[in-house]
């Protein structure tokens, strides 16, 4: 049923108002005829690739807080969020796979995370807070001061995906993961209409709720809710969308007017790369097709178009491009290197909408993930540009500046986990594998007397 719903939503979006998105059709043709696109890079890691992975794991070792078992989002700064917690769990999967840690250390690390999830304080409406202190495990604001500041349904959706992958690899821990998630109030995360909502807790205790996400990130994080049988129908739709043509390649972008919705609409690589690494651009319930087939054709074509347009920028302008979101060491501290935003191709924007083109990077994480998913001469060249961007004692840097070739030496969990995720995909193929075994949550869902409540399953089927 879920697969049919996804396909129906995709078709509805692609044909709304009588418009057929030709770029998707062109992308599908490319995906179907190109053995390069379909194959990617697979196989046991080489000695060099294992060294790359070990360098990324150094970051985790350096930034693990022994009191809580949590890992800092940014090097040597004791703060995290739900998306960063997901990054750590992905890194832990890779460390287990590549035997960087013993079975005992893996057990200890995972048990500490699950203990935190089952005990962590929740925001006032019963969902994870946006930020937590990694040394105390308490809710904090962005200045790391104790405070309930609200929640992000996008970050929670990302965590749900990775918790599902953790259960698939460690079924003996499934019960404890389910118990943690069953504490959360899904009614505040997904509306009855199937939209993802975040919230801000103001100083006077009042709550401001807002629709969260944009084209790409909404479709990706929806997979996390689908794993819990919550169907965010509106978030999965590609409508409204618009199309921009760059270097002869059609790119879809979010059609909501930022003046009306107060939302940035940058088109960048990260969510589409995660859809490839974690789901192989398949529908969530696909456990039969091999990695040469993509059963969600629309998302696969969108990802392919984003890759090809970045490759085309090198072909036409001789500018190496691997664009994603990233941290910078000074103000504004975080930017989106966009393929398209604010009506402009190749613009770098901050959360407040200001442009900072001088901060555009060849992203280390994006380059690694493109190299894994597309086996081409272009991605080989990208790897030459990023393979030395590391400190052997601290981990991988964020990237190399497009304008000057200089290093952006910020070091984050997101980038280092992104490197590990790319290499884990190379070794294993797609990371999410549907599980049909009976789980703790299934028992609760089927219980007449101990059902988790209307905010799970019943409301969103």
Using only the alpha carbons of the chain, give its radius of gyration.
21
Q: Which of 199-203, 230-234, 383-387 has the lowest mean pLDDT?
A: 230-234
Judged against a pLDDT cut of 50, whether residue 1 lies above it is answered with no
Task: For the chain, give the longest Cα–Cα distance.
Answer: 65
What pLDDT is recorded for position 460? 36
Do 334 and 415 meet the contact criterion of CB atoms below 8 Å apart?
A: no
Do 350 and 357 meet the contact criterion of CB atoms below 8 Å apart?
A: no
Judged against a pLDDT cut of 90, whether residue 111 lies above it is answered with yes
Torsion of CA 1, 296, 86, 328, to 10 degrees: -140
Judged against a pLDDT cut of 60, whether residue 20 lies above it is answered with no
What pLDDT is recorded for position 213? 80
Burial 180-219 (b: 16+ CB within 10 A, else e): bbbebebbbbbbeebbbbbbebeeeeeeeeebbbbbbbbb
Is residue 262 classed as helix, strand or coil in its secondary structure? coil
Rounded Cα gap, residues 396 and 298, in angstroms? 33
Q: What is the pTM of this model?
A: 0.89
What pLDDT is recorded for position 454? 56
Mean pLDDT for 388-395 is: 98
| pLDDT tens by residue, 35-89 | 444 459 999 999 999 999 999 999 999 999 999 999 999 999 999 999 999 999 9
Mean pLDDT for 404-425 is: 98
What pLDDT is recorded for position 211? 87
Q: How far is CA 416 from the centre of its chain?
A: 14
| pLDDT tens by residue, 317-368 | 999 999 999 999 999 999 999 999 988 999 999 998 899 999 999 999 999 9
Judged against a pLDDT cut of 80, whether residue 417 lies above it is answered with yes
Of the chain, the percentage scoring pLDDT greater than 90 comes to 72
Pick the residue with more confidence: 230 or 308?
308
Chain mean pLDDT for the chain: 88
Beta-ladder partners of 348: 337
Judged against a pLDDT cut of 60, whether residue 16 lies above it is answered with no
């Amino acid at each position: 049923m879920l697969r049919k719903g996804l396909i129906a939503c995709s078709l509805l979006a692609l044909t709304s108002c009588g418009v057929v998105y030709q770029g998707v059709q062109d992308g599908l043709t490319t995906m179907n005829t190109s053995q390069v696109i379909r194959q990617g890079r697979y196989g046991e890691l080489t000695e060099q690739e294992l060294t790359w992975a070990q360098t990324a794991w150094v970051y985790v070792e350096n930034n693990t807080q022994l009191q809580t078992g949590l890992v800092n989002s940014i090097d040597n700064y004791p703060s995290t969020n739900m998306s960063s917690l997901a990054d750590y769990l992905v890194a832990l999967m890779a460390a287990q796979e590549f035997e960087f840690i013993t079975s005992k250390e893996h057990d200890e690390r995972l048990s500490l995370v699950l203990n935190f999830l089952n005990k962590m304080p929740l925001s006032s409406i019963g969902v994870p807070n946006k930020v937590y202190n990694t040394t105390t495990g308490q809710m904090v604001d962005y200045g790391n001061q104790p405070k309930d500041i609200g929640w992000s349904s996008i970050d929670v959706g990302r965590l749900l995906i990775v918790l599902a992958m953790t259960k698939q690899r460690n079924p003996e821990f499934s019960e404890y993961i389910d118990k943690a998630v069953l504490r959360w109030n899904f009614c505040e995360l997904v509306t009855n209409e199937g939209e993802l909502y975040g919230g801000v807790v103001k100083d006077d205790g009042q709550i401001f709720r807002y629709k969260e996400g944009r084209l790409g990130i909404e479709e990706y994080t929806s997979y996390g809710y689908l794993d819990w049988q919550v169907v965010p129908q509106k978030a999965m739709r590609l409508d409204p969308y618009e199309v921009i043509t760059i270097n002869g390649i059609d790119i879809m972008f979010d059609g909501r007017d930022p003046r009306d919705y107060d939302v940035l609409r940058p088109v960048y690589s990260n969510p589409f790369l995660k859809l490839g690494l974690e789901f192989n651009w398949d529908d969530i319930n696909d456990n039969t097709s091999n990695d040469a087939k993509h059963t969600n054709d629309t998302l696969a074509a969108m990802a392919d178009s984003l890759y090809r347009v970045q490759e085309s920028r090198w072909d036409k302008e001789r500018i190496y491009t691997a664009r994603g979101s990233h941290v910078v060491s000074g103000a504004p501290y975080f930017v989106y290197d966009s393929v398209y935003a604010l009506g402009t191709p190749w613009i770098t924007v901050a959360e407040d909408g200001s442009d900072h083109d001088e901060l555009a990077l060849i992203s280390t994480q994006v380059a690694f993930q493109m190299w894994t998913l597309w086996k081409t001469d272009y991605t080989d060249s990208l790897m030459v540009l990023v393979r030395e961007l590391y400190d052997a004692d601290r981990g991988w840097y964020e990237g190399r500046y497009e304008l000057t070739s200089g290093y952006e030496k910020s070091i984050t969990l997101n980038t280092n986990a992104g490197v590990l995720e790319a290499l884990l995909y190379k070794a294993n193929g797609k990371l999410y594998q549907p599980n049909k075994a009976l789980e703790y949550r299934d028992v609760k869902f089927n219980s007449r007397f101990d059902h988790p409540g209307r905010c799970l399953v019943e409301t969103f089927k």
